[in-house]
């Protein structure tokens, strides 16, 4: 049989270990972007941290214009773009790859058709890109 004092000591030890593991596991989500970056959100709520240098890109400027038309200008809330996260990941990857101006213009022209179904449009753009490579 274990004494009461020993049980209390063991319980305190396990409580300390549990509290320490909770602190290590749960990292708070920061609301502040890293220096030189900003946050944008996709329609489905996924958050992206984008470098400020990307603001000069025509693709992101067009997405911002579309967001302004659809949602209006936000003053206190987050910037939400009118596309889902898979489409936004694809657009950001194109910006990162520094695609040619002609391909940027073609992508921007296809954005107007993508408003209703961005995942379907992503499939179309991928097939167009495969054709361009051939």
Please report the DSSP string for 83-102 in residue order. Answer: S-HHHHHHHHHHHHTT--HH
Predicted local distance difference test score (pLDDT) of residue 51 = 92
Q: Which residues contact 54 (CB under 8 A, 6 or more apart)?
A: 60, 92, 95
Predicted local distance difference test score (pLDDT) of residue 84 = 85
pTM of the model: 0.59
Q: Higher pLDDT residue, 50 or 12?
A: 50
User: Would you say residue 119 has pLDDT above 70?
Assistant: no
Q: Tell me how far apart the alpha carbons of residues 4 and 107 are, in angstroms, rounded to a whole number.
A: 72
User: Would you say residue 16 has pLDDT above 80?
Assistant: no
**According to CATH, what is the number of the domain 37-133?**
3.30.710
DSSP class of residue 75 equals S
Structure tokens at 68: 């302004």
Q: Higher pLDDT residue, 16 or 93?
A: 93
Following CA atoms 92, 98, 100, 102 in sequence, which dihedral angle do they give, to the nearest 10 degrees?
A: 30
User: Would you say residue 38 has pLDDT above 80?
Assistant: yes
Q: What is the SS3 assignment for 80?
A: strand
Query: Among candidates 67, 130, 53, which has minimal Cα distance to 98?
Result: 53
- Domain residue spans in the chain? 37-133
Average per-residue pLDDT for the chain: 75
Q: Higher pLDDT residue, 121 or 13?
A: 13
């Amino acid at each position: 049989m274990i004494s009461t004092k020993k049980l209390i000591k063991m319980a305190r030890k396990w409580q300390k270990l549990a509290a320490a593991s909770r602190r290590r596991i749960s990292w708070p989500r920061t609301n502040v972007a890293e220096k030189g970056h900003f946050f944008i959100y996709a329609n489905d709520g996924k958050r992206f941290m984008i470098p400020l240098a990307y603001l000069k890109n025509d693709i992101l400027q067009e997405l911002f214009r579309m967001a302004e038309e659809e949602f209006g200008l936000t003053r206190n809330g987050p910037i939400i773009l009118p596309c889902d996260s898979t489409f936004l990941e694809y657009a950001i990857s194109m910006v990162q790859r520094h695609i040619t101006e002609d391909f940027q213009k073609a992508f921007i022209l296809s954005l107007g058709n993508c408003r209703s179904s961005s995942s379907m449009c992503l499939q179309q753009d991928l097939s167009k890109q495969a054709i361009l490579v051939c």
